[in-house]
Amino acid sequence: MPTISTNDFKNGMTLVLEGVLFDVVEFQHVKPGKGGAFVRTTLRNTRTGGTQEKTFRADEKVERAMIDKRDMQFLYRSGDDYVFMDSTTYDQLNVEPTTLGTAVDYLVENASAVLMMYGDEIIGVDLPAAVELEVTETEPGVQGDRVSGARKPATVETGAVVQVPLFIEIGDRVKVDTRSGDYLGKA
């Protein structure tokens, strides 16, 4: 496994500490007037999502995780699992919904995604910044009810609930931000 100096930390870097994968959320190199320099970090556990503070000595060596990013295409659901196909090798991979996290709210058939893998384990999913989804259920807008900025809940084809403007109706396609789940516009 490759090692990296704590002086070379960058936000988003993945480390292996005591057999557990952590992403560097934030780091700060500190050089006090007296004593040795150190690096104060905020780390996020990639499996549980929990964060913790950890301090390292300056120039301490830690193990860096080699993350493989694979372009995949979501094909279909098989029972509870999501079936992805590797865009280069055409290999198929069954993925549990718990592994995908909130990404399941934005996955429609034939959608592309980047699966981040550490060995054979999927540790994250990168989706496009926005996706187009069809509204399958929402309350009808009342004639004359055009309050500026008013929103109503709408269920989209993946089952996710998105707050949309009052004029959106069943069957409309809407653009949704995959990072925040916010309505971006009518598609």
Residue ranges per structural domain of the chain: 3-64, 68-126, 130-186
Determine if residue 97 is left, alpha or beta; phi over 0 gives left, psi from -120 to 50 gives alpha, anything else beta.
alpha
pTM score of the predicted model? 0.70
Which CATH superfamily groups domain 130-186?
Nucleic acid-binding proteins (2.40.50.140)
Indicate the CATH number for domain 3-64: 2.30.30.30
pLDDT tens digit string along 8-62?
888 888 888 888 888 888 999 888 888 888 999 999 888 777 889 999 988 889 9
With contact defined as beta carbons under 8 Å apart, do 179 and 126 qualify? no
Architecture of domain 68-126: Beta Barrel (2.40)
The identity of residue 23, as a single letter, is: D
pLDDT tens digit string along 84-135?
998 888 888 888 888 887 888 888 888 888 888 888 888 888 888 888 888 8
